[in-house]
């Protein structure tokens, strides 16, 4: 089955117009991508005033707040290191999938609630990204409140990583001709660097490359920390309480599956634009939502005969698109399709010679047709008349995921988080990640923890664009 470990070629890494681009490309094999990335980042900077390890939400945010939002650190001396060939961590916006054309699909985190002021105010007021309601026609059925996604030109989700890419793009733009974001830089150890300052650290990356940093923020999940060398300062010099808390994270393995149909039958034939569906089958289990997944609806033709799209989903329209087939706790059927713990993403396409790909596509289609047989019959459509999906894409977020594991949650309280955010008193080494964050979910807790580090440990003022009452209550008042 065609698969990827989410890496991209060096030619796909750049910033343009303030947006950093490091997106997965389906036309590159894993080996070629690895070689390109290694060649591109063979030379890392010798020293950084502020280094971020992990280009997920909190890592990108901390770098952006320091280098761009407050200009408190010279952007040219801010460095962001990422083990993968893409940015985002658990936020995985996939572009260029077969059949999807220019539509993005988020196989990880993808939406935010208005009550989550970080990231909501960041997206709305600081980055000023175009957004739209996640639910169909803003039905406000998203966990009791309105949820939003970053919007593209087709009225679909442009990819939640757009916000991360935008922040990193602005960091690189502010940093001048040098590079601030370094991909394929896998941290293996952290050591003391007394020659660079009493509280400085030396970051050791795969291949023996090293960088000294005056201050370091680790945006690493607990699993990645566990893979650091046992000789690492973070592990060897920390207190017993810190070491206990670093391992006190429970991780929920999750799976997300989308199926692309050239005819989005659930909306074009059945008018199903909102709501959830489930089905337990002997094959592919279902636990999806009709409103989740990008679509393109044709409303006419231009003078050259090319299609004109609506900019929004249309019930009973002329639409193609992806249906969220499953989003829930990991199930053996999907988990067995994961290539390795380093590769969350698996892509199956019709017309390949892979029996596993054909089996997955067939099982998903059979389960969907069986689940909707009565509704299709009522609409005068025989299930056999519906063509199978062109592509099925799934992502496994697992407890053993080395760099991008499932949804993690610290088994501790706010005092424990206060201890973890600066785990070594004698080093300017900070920790902010969703695994240890203040809220569960895909971004909010990680961002709040990063802002607490910036406020309590680095003395940054409150963001001008963030709700002041929320900041006082959810950042300053935290221990």
Contact (CB, 8 A) for 49 and 213: yes
Distance between CA atoms of residues 312 and 69, nearest Å: 33
- Please answer whether residues 388 and 262 qualify as being in contact, where contact means their C-beta atoms are separated by less than 8 angstroms: no
Please give the biggest Cα pair distance in the chain. Answer: 76
* Strand-strand pairing, 181-182 and 78-81: parallel
Q: What per-residue confidence (pLDDT) applies to 404?
A: 73
Q: Which one of 41-50, 191-200, 334-343, 383-392 scores highest in mean pLDDT?
A: 383-392
Please compute Rg for the chain using Cα positions: 23
pLDDT above 50: residue 477: yes
Q: Do residues 164 and 88 lie in contact, with contact meaning Cβ atoms separated by under 8 Å? A: yes
Is the model's pLDDT at 225 over the cut of 50? Answer: yes
Q: Mean pLDDT score of the chain, rounded to an integer? A: 88
Q: Are 24 and 94 in contact (CB under 8 A)?
A: yes
Q: Is the pLDDT of residue 17 over 70?
A: no
| Residue 259, pLDDT above cutoff 80 | yes
Lowest mean pLDDT across 345-354, 355-364, 400-409: 400-409
Phi, psi (rounded to 5 degrees) for 150: -75, 130
pLDDT digits (tens, 9 = 90+) for 138-176: 876 777 788 899 998 777 789 999 999 999 999 999 998
pLDDT over threshold 50, residue 277: yes
Q: What is the pLDDT of residue 51?
A: 98
Q: What is the mean pLDDT of residues 376-393?
A: 95
pLDDT at 11: 26
Angle CA 170–175–178, to nearest 5:
120
| 237-258 residue pLDDT tens | 899 999 999 999 998 899 999 9
pLDDT class of 20 with cuts at 50, 70, 90: low
Domains of the chain are: 10-97+162-249+407-476 (3.50.50.60), 254-397 (no CATH)
Strand pairing category for 105-106 and 93-94: antiparallel
CA dihedral 49, 234, 53, 222 (to 10 degrees): -160
pLDDT band at 289 (very low <50, low <70, confident <90, very high): very high
Nearest to 421, CA basis, from 443, 444, 452: 452
pLDDT at 206: 92
Please tell me the predicted confidence (pLDDT) of residue 319.
96
The predicted structure's pLDDT at residue 405: 81
Q: Are 377 and 33 in contact (CB under 8 A)?
A: no
pLDDT computed for residue 33 by the predictor: 42
Pairing between β-strand 249-252 and β-strand 407-410 as defined by DSSP bridges: antiparallel
Q: What is the pLDDT of residue 269?
A: 97
Query: Does position 473 have pLDDT exceeding 90, yes or no?
Result: yes
User: Residue 283, Cα to own-chain centre: how many angstroms?
Assistant: 28
Average pLDDT over residues 262-286: 95
Q: Which of 25, 436, 429 is nearest to 234 (CA)?
A: 429
Please, is 192 exposed, middle or buried when counting C-beta atoms within 10 Å of its C-beta (0-12, 13-18, 19+)?
Answer: middle
Average pLDDT of the segment spanning 30-50? 65
pLDDT digits 0-9 by tens, 61-112: 999 999 999 999 999 999 999 998 899 999 999 998 988 888 899 999 999 9
- What is residue 178's predicted lDDT score, i.e. its pLDDT? 80
Tally Cβ neighbours within 10 Å of residue 163. Answer: 27
Q: How far apart are CA 277 and CA 236, in angstroms?
A: 49
Q: How confident is the model at residue 402 (pLDDT cuts 50, 70, 90)?
A: confident
pLDDT confidence band for 235 (50 / 70 / 90): confident
In this prediction, residues 308-330 reach a mean pLDDT of 94
pLDDT-derived band at 21 (thresholds 50, 70, 90) equals: low
Per-residue pLDDT for 54 more than 50? Answer: yes
pLDDT classification of 22: cutoffs 50, 70, 90: low
At 98 the pLDDT is: 87
Average pLDDT over residues 199-214: 94
- Residues 409-449: tens digit of each pLDDT: 898 898 999 999 999 999 999 999 999 998 776 689 999 99
- DSSP H helices in 24-123: 30-40, 57-64, 117-121
């Amino acid at each position: 089955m065609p698969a990827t470990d989410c890496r991209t070629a060096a030619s796909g890494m750049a910033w343009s117009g303030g947006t950093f681009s490091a997106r997965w490309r389906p036309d590159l094999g894993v080996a070629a991508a690895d070689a390109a990335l290694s060649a591109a980042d063979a030379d890392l900077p010798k020293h950084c005033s502020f280094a971020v390890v992990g280009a997920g939400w909190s890592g990108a945010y901390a770098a952006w707040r320091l280098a761009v939002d407050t200009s408190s650190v010279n952007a040219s001396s801010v460095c962001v290191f990422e083990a993968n060939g893409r940015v985002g961590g658990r936020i995985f916006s996939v572009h260029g999938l077969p059949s999807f054309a220019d539509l993005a699909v988020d196989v990880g985190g993808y939406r935010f609630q208005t009550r989550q002021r970080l990231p909501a105010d960041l997206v709305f007021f600081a980055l000023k990204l175009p957004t739209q309601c996640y639910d169909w026609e803003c039905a406000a059925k998203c966990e009791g409140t309105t949820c939003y996604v970053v919007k593209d030109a087709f009225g679909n989700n442009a990819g939640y990583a757009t916000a991360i890419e935008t922040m990193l793009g602005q960091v690189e733009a502010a940093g001048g001709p040098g590079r601030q974001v370094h991909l394929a830089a896998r941290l293996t150890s952290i050591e003391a660097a007394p020659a660079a300052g009493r509280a400085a650290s030396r970051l050791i990356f795969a291949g023996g490359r090293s960088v000294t940093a005056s201050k370091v923020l680790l945006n690493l999940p607990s699993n990645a920390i566990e893979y650091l060398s046992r000789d690492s300062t973070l592990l060897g010099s920390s207190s017993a309480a810190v070491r206990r808390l670093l391992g006190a994270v429970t991780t929920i393995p999750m799976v997300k599956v989308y199926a692309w149909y050239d005819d989005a039958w659930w909306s074009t034939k059945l008018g199903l634009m909102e709501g959830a569906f489930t089905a337990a089958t002997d094959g592919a289990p279902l636990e999806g939502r009709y409103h989740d997944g990008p679509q393109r609806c044709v409303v006419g033709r231009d003078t050259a005969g090319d299609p004109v799209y609506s900019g929004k989903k249309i019930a009973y329209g002329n639409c193609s698109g992806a249906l969220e087939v499953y989003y829930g706790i990991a199930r053996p059927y999907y988990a067995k399709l994961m290539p390795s713990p380093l590769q969350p993403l698996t892509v199956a396409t019709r017309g390949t010679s892979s029996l596993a790909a054909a089996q997955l596509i067939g099982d998903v289609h059979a389960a969907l047709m069986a689940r909707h047989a009565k509704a299709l019959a009522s609409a005068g459509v025989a299930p056999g008349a519906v063509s199978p999906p062109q592509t099925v894409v799934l992502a496994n977020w697992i407890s053993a995921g080395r760099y991008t594991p499932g949804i993690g949650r610290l088994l501790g309280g706010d005092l424990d988080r206060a201890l973890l955010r600066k785990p070594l008193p004698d080093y300017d080494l900070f920790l902010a990640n969703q695994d240890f964050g203040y809220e569960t979910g895909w971004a909010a807790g990680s961002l709040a923890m990063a802002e607490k580090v910036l406020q309590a440990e680095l003395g940054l003022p409150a963001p001008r664009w963030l709700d002041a009452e929320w900041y006082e209550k959810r950042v300053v008042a935290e221990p």
